[in-house]
């Protein structure tokens, strides 16, 4: 699981960080309103979205915590299931 999270981080952040490196350290003119920069920003946002998906798919304690949280948010669910059975 850690390898998946780290791989996702590297894949999603490398283009953006490389763009900033070339703009700030090398002196290459970067078009910050162009499609490539916007694509790198989308990848950064994707990184924020994939971590919960990875945890939900691979980490049992995370899955159990989500179930407990959902049960606390909907306490009537247990009552409606009991009523449906009866």
Task: Supply the pLDDT for residue 70.
Answer: 86
Q: Where are the chain's structural domains?
A: 2-85
Q: How far separated are the first and last CA of the chain, in Å rounded?
A: 42
Distance, in Å, from the CA atom of 34 to the CA atom of 39, rounded to the nearest integer, reads 9
pTM: 0.63
Distance, in Å, from the CA atom of 20 to the CA atom of 1, rounded to the nearest integer, reads 29
Task: Supply the pLDDT for residue 52.
Answer: 83
- Asked if residues 78 and 71 have their Cβ atoms less than 8 Å apart, the reply is yes
Task: Supply the pLDDT for residue 7.
Answer: 92
Distance, in Å, from the CA atom of 80 to the CA atom of 75, rounded to the nearest integer, reads 9
Task: Supply the pLDDT for residue 61.
Answer: 86
**Residues sharing a CB contact under 8 Å with residue 31, sequence separation 6 or more, in sequence order:** 37
Tens-digit pLDDT string for the chain (86 aa)? 788 889 999 999 999 999 999 999 998 898 889 999 999 999 999 999 998 888 888 888 888 888 888 888 877 765 555 445 44
């Amino acid at each position: 699981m850690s390898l998946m999270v780290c791989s996702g981080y590297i894949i999603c952040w490398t283009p953006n960080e490389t763009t900033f490196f070339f703009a700030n350290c090398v002196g290459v003119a970067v078009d910050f309103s162009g499609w490539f920069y916007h694509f790198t920003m989308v990848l950064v946002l994707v990184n924020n979205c994939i971590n919960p998906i990875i945890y939900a798919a691979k980490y049992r304690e995370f899955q159990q915590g989500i179930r407990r949280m959902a049960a606390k948010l909907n306490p009537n669910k247990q009552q409606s299931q009991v009523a449906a059975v009866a």
